[in-house]
Amino acid sequence: MSRDKVIQVGVIGAGRIGALHARHLATRVPGAAVVAIADINVAAAQAVADQWRIPVIAADYTELLAHPDIDAVAICSSTDTHARIIQEAAAAGKHIFCEKPIDFDLNKIDQALAAVDSAGVKLQIGFNRRFDANFRRVYELVHAGKMGTPHILRITSRDPAPPPLAYLKVSGGIFLDMTIHDFDMARYLMGSEAEEIYAAGGVMVDPQIGDVGDIDTAVITLRFASGAVGVIDNSRQAVYGYDQRVEVFGSAGMVTVANNTPDSHVYSNVDGVHTAKPLYFFLERYTDSFIAEMSAFIKSIRQDTMPPVTGQDGRVPVVMALAAQKSYQENRPVRLSEIT
Amino acid sequence: MSRDKVIQVGVIGAGRIGALHARHLATRVPGAAVVAIADINVAAAQAVADQWRIPVIAADYTELLAHPDIDAVAICSSTDTHARIIQEAAAAGKHIFCEKPIDFDLNKIDQALAAVDSAGVKLQIGFNRRFDANFRRVYELVHAGKMGTPHILRITSRDPAPPPLAYLKVSGGIFLDMTIHDFDMARYLMGSEAEEIYAAGGVMVDPQIGDVGDIDTAVITLRFASGAVGVIDNSRQAVYGYDQRVEVFGSAGMVTVANNTPDSHVYSNVDGVHTAKPLYFFLERYTDSFIAEMSAFIKSIRQDTMPPVTGQDGRVPVVMALAAQKSYQENRPVRLSEIT
Amino acid sequence: MSRDKVIQVGVIGAGRIGALHARHLATRVPGAAVVAIADINVAAAQAVADQWRIPVIAADYTELLAHPDIDAVAICSSTDTHARIIQEAAAAGKHIFCEKPIDFDLNKIDQALAAVDSAGVKLQIGFNRRFDANFRRVYELVHAGKMGTPHILRITSRDPAPPPLAYLKVSGGIFLDMTIHDFDMARYLMGSEAEEIYAAGGVMVDPQIGDVGDIDTAVITLRFASGAVGVIDNSRQAVYGYDQRVEVFGSAGMVTVANNTPDSHVYSNVDGVHTAKPLYFFLERYTDSFIAEMSAFIKSIRQDTMPPVTGQDGRVPVVMALAAQKSYQENRPVRLSEIT
Amino acid sequence: MSRDKVIQVGVIGAGRIGALHARHLATRVPGAAVVAIADINVAAAQAVADQWRIPVIAADYTELLAHPDIDAVAICSSTDTHARIIQEAAAAGKHIFCEKPIDFDLNKIDQALAAVDSAGVKLQIGFNRRFDANFRRVYELVHAGKMGTPHILRITSRDPAPPPLAYLKVSGGIFLDMTIHDFDMARYLMGSEAEEIYAAGGVMVDPQIGDVGDIDTAVITLRFASGAVGVIDNSRQAVYGYDQRVEVFGSAGMVTVANNTPDSHVYSNVDGVHTAKPLYFFLERYTDSFIAEMSAFIKSIRQDTMPPVTGQDGRVPVVMALAAQKSYQENRPVRLSEIT
């Protein structure tokens, strides 16, 4: 494919994340055009299409898969549809960007990945945080050897407020819905796979979250194949805003990253010294990383290179989440090899 | 004018800043479209036009002024042409965004502003830093009374490297070329006009800058009508990058803003603790403020409101720069009323 | 006892920590005088005595216990002697300051505490970090309700370099020697007892540490009776210096404390922005807290109040350390109730 | 003199600063003993003597000068007595530590310095900030060439609250009373003498300060012999506490130091992120530097070396303050050579 070709993308799903990717593809991603959007809620698709002058609107995403001019699809529909649409899109020869997680079921994931393999299309999973400037800098420093051998990884990942209960009921639970990003980050930064996971936590934020069978606070210990140890802490409610920090400590040094704020003001008065809260949530915090991940996807198509977040990168965090879930339920460390 | 109307903009000048505004108008500014670009260097205009699919290209900017579909122009040509083009654009009934400074000559500025007034078009001057999140936050806190009565203003404004000597020769000197932004910032933040200015400084970075009759380092004291005192320090070369800080101190508190960095990493090793340098220069540092100023200009047209940086806001910093120049030459405090 | 009385203290042990307490008692602790020092290494005792003009020097600490003018002893001898000396000092009617840990054996601890109880003397255990300005501030904010209900506790505690192997062989292992301070801090800050502990870790810094049966890196998860979860990470070697941070996160907010540095300089050059490393180790970092803990001990004697760190406060962290040890060995969460 | 000799010091003046030096000499300064204290207010002298068991108390300081066992005096009496006591102490063969300023009158200073010279005793002036860890670090980095050639110096020095009006009336004015410390700091850090000074400012904090003929806010520009430019800003009232910062910017980099705080806590809640205010005032902020300066004085006596802050170091800042005063009164830059 010519590197000058503009990649024609169809967006499947016109919800919050689909609308976001459509906007970026229309205005911020070099070499891409968004030519179609599909949603069973046609009004939602229409609204996005109107804003970015997207010519094709469909209630049924299969229209996009059948469209000869579409090179790639961005799957932004509900999680339970991801694996099936991946298979169908692969069969239709479309390159695929798919939001995380691929599925909660490893068999379905494996079928989807097999379909991608046999079709020879590209698949990139939406672990956008890898493209954030802070985390990328940590990655670069770790992989340049600046920490020496990594010994300890710490990830803090706390949302500003819990999602609606209706969402939580179908979310797969905190490990599959929220920690999964941190599991990906752990693999990305440490360059070593987790072998065993121990999860502690509970319902501390809202008893209704417990009522739907989930927890809202967790501390997860990871043992890596390298011997290193990691710990992730999660909360569904940090009242001061989205808290997204990591730290890698090793034989030669340590690197940490702080939260991003809307501005750098420091106000001093008789009461103390005051600065801005972190950016509120992922839409504010990760705008640039969403643009960068989509740009990387488009670039991998145009340059015919491996997408930077592969199907396997989509599968492993699901295994980790399932291990964490089992660990929490049984209150014991669980080896990833137990999860099949 | 309907608030839904898309404002058709013609960009005059396809150099670095013209290309930047064209890109923003094409991709990031709501309610605007860039429909024409003019430069005596037609190849430069062509290159920008190609990138953003701008239909009209002209060697002569008067073609844009004559174009009936163009609502507004962005004047990004060399400073010596600003005043004349403002007059002509006003006569043509176009709304005007003009890069700073309007001119080095107060008579020409006054003629230009008179032309704008009599034509009844809108004029906004490109003091983009007012639209930066940090400085805007300082403004908001000061104007919300959080400092009480402002007593002391401090502005640090240092470039990462001097411009080419060829540029310096026609730049008007450090006060008109560089400090002018800080003069605008001083007025913006303090809500009071400077009455007297004292400038010290010299050639410290590069003797060649002295050879062309300019200086490269300056410390400027401002006395405001309110009684407050301000100090600006400038250098043409901060080896660690673009240094853009302000501080307002008053009876009830103090606010400062720090430099922006590409990421928030903190790396600790045997040698110390290390963080990122400031963003390199204004293109990196002020991207968002360039977008915000142009969005504000477009919005003021669509909503028929006063532009947030007026012609008078363009004139006063020139007076301040001329006073600073005179102060430096005569080594004495100079009242703004001496400058006519 | 009169509040004006100067408490006459005998220091038992003239090693590093004994010399430190002798210096503080001689020069920095109000209302105290150091009147005797004992060490089987008489030359060491002599050296300390010479420096602070301590009149009584003994090879045998029992001379101090028999001395009628001595009100209190500071036990700074090796850990294996603590429990016995506490019992003897209590029998002699001396108030007791004892370095941590009391002992590695819970029975011996219980006997010592019983002796203290029946003698009615005061006993304070040397968990000095409670008296550090940073940690005390965290304590105050947590106990003032500023975090709401605490949900997550994070403690990072890393030494700049491992102790000598000879020391490690008799240290009791990382949990009893190093983490014990963090276990105390966890109880102090959270106001809730740990019920279950899970420890992961390994030998990452130096294989010789493994050869003597210890580990050098650990991540320990704590479940508190309140439902909260804590995590401690330890390393025997942080090449950038002593790393002592805590964070308490709760329903209403979060508080963190950073490391202390010798100065606050920030140096920016072409390579980046550089600041000072943390203070090197506990002698530099905790000078003020050592003075404050001893002042609090003396004050509790003079004012006849409960010492701020009780015998029970000395016992519980040992239970926690033994649980962590068992957890690490058996790779499972261990309830504190299993430790007897 | 033997390096093991304990220097016997007499303190002249038992006010706040005299009591402070007495305490330090009694408890914190190696190689020194405080053996006498004099104050016309004998009760004040008695109170200090009681606390530190100082054997000799005098209403008349000349008793100390006549005392054969006293090696050195610390002059902590009112400024108008400094020059005379220096002359008398020198004549009595005592080494002299004298609080700043020596005097407001250059002739008196010169007579005092001449007396010191001819007596061959040591004289150290109490510019304690040179001994502060932050400023010393700046000094070290600048003098190690880390800034390259210094171009710009910035000093912020703001008190938390104005002194009583009764004090202000005899203080000599803001430049001689407050800025004098900053003038010393400027010389210390830049390694170049100021040649010209321009002072702006006014009465902004409290009109009563104007009523006694003083100002409370100032911005002072310094031109150094090296060509560098400096700026000092002063306020008598920073409501957030003592504000003591410096910045040196040069051809190879920049160094800044921040304020010291009682602890490093960072508290995040729904309202923002909050940290501690600076330490309240000089007694809290400069405790360690007061100890270090006195230790350096004692050491210079014991080792017979030049004191680190000489009589000339005491004289020049007075010249600078007089130049600043004249500049403010005449609203023009004043050369130091004008002051005689």
List per-residue pLDDT tens for chain D, 340 residues long. Answer: 455 789 999 999 999 999 999 999 998 998 999 999 999 999 999 999 999 999 999 999 999 999 999 999 999 999 999 999 999 999 999 999 999 999 999 999 999 999 999 999 999 999 999 999 999 999 999 999 999 999 999 999 999 999 999 999 999 999 999 999 999 999 999 999 999 999 999 999 999 999 999 999 999 999 999 999 999 999 999 999 999 999 999 999 999 999 999 999 999 999 999 999 999 999 999 999 999 999 999 999 999 999 999 999 999 999 999 999 999 999 999 999 999 8
D335: β partners: D196
pLDDT at B1: 47
Task: For chain C, list residues with pLDDT below 70.
Answer: 1-3
* Closest to B206 measured CA to CA, from C201, D251, D229: D251
Contact D217 B253 (CB under 8 A): no
Q: Which residues from C are below 8 Å from B269, CB to CB? A: 239-240
pLDDT at A1: 46
Task: For chain B, list residues with pLDDT below 50.
Answer: 1
Give the pLDDT confidence of A20-59 residue by residue, as tens digits.
999 999 989 989 999 999 999 999 999 999 999 999 999 9
Q: Which residues from C are below 8 Å from A152, CB to CB? A: 217, 219, 233, 235
Closest partner residue to D231 among B202, B233, B238, by Cβ? B233
Name the minimum distance, in Å, from the CA of C275 to any CA of chain A: 14
Asked if C269 reaches chain B (Cβ–Cβ under 8 Å), the answer is: yes
Contact B265 A137 (CB under 8 A): yes
Instruction: Give me D123's structure tokens.
Output: 């004289």
Number of Cβ pairs < 8 A linking chain A and chain B: 79
Contact C202 A227 (CB under 8 A): yes
Closest partner residue to B219 among D229, D243, D253, by Cβ? D229
Number of Cβ pairs < 8 A linking chain B and chain D: 101
Closest partner residue to B276 among C241, C273, C276, by Cβ? C273
Task: For chain A, list residues with pLDDT below 50.
Answer: 1
Contact A149 C204 (CB under 8 A): yes
Asked if A264 reaches chain C (Cβ–Cβ under 8 Å), the answer is: no
Contact C198 A198 (CB under 8 A): yes
pLDDT at B197: 98
Asked if B3 reaches chain A (Cβ–Cβ under 8 Å), the answer is: no
Contact B235 D152 (CB under 8 A): yes
* Per-window interface: C 276-335 vs D, CB < 8 A: 276
Can you give chain C as a three-state secondary structure string? CCCCCCEEEEEECCCHHHHHHHHHHHHCCCCEEEEEEECCCHHHHHHHHHHHCCCEEECCCHHHHHCCCCCEEEECCCHHHHHHHHHHHHHCCCEEEECCCCCCCHHHHHHHHHHHHHHCCCEEECCHHHHCHHHHHHHHHHHCCCCCCEEEEEEEEECCCCCCHHHHHCCCCHHHHHHHHHHHHHHHHHCCCEEEEEEEEECCCCHHHHHCCCCCEEEEEEEECCCCEEEEEEECCCCCCCEEEEEEEECCEEEEECCCCCCCEEEEECCEEEECCCCCCHHHHCHHHHHHHHHHHHHHHHCCCCCCCCHHHHHHHHHHHHHHHHHHHHCCCEEHHHCC
Question: For residue C243, what is the nearest residue in chain B, using CA coordinates?
Answer: B268
* Per-window interface: D 105-164 vs C, CB < 8 A: 133-134, 136-138, 141, 146
Name the minimum distance, in Å, from the CA of C242 to any CA of chain D: 15
pLDDT at B340: 83
Distance CA C286, CA B151 (A): 40
Question: For residue D279, what is the nearest residue in chain A, using CA coordinates?
Answer: A272
Question: For residue B270, what is the nearest residue in chain C, using CA coordinates?
Answer: C240
Name the minimum distance, in Å, from the CA of D271 to any CA of chain A: 7
ipTM value? 0.96
Cα–chain center distance at C46: 26
Contact D277 A272 (CB under 8 A): yes
pLDDT at A288: 96
pLDDT at B225: 98
Distance CA A326, CA D63 (A): 84
* Contacts for C207 with CB less than 8 Å, ≥ 6 apart: none
Q: Which residues from D are below 8 Å from C189, CB to CB? A: none
Contact D274 A276 (CB under 8 A): no
pLDDT at B3: 54
Helix (H, G, I), strand (E, B) or coil at D330: helix
Q: Which residues from C are below 8 Å from B263, CB to CB? A: none
pLDDT at D1: 46
Closest partner residue to A277 among D238, D239, D268, by Cβ? D268
Q: Which residues from A are below 8 Å from B262, CB to CB? A: 133, 137
Question: For residue C270, what is the nearest residue in chain B, using CA coordinates?
Answer: B240
Number of Cβ pairs < 8 A linking chain A and chain C: 101
* Per-window interface: B 13-32 vs D, CB < 8 A: none
Q: For an interface test with D, which of A273, A274, A275, A280 has the most D Cβ atoms less than 10 Å from its Cβ?
A: A273
Asked if A275 reaches chain B (Cβ–Cβ under 8 Å), the answer is: no
Contact C219 A237 (CB under 8 A): no
Closest partner residue to A275 among D238, D270, D273, by Cβ? D273
Name the minimum distance, in Å, from the CA of B253 to any CA of chain A: 4
Name the minimum distance, in Å, from the CA of C280 to any CA of chain A: 15
Helix (H, G, I), strand (E, B) or coil at D26: helix
* Closest to A186 measured CA to CA, from A178, A194, A176: A194
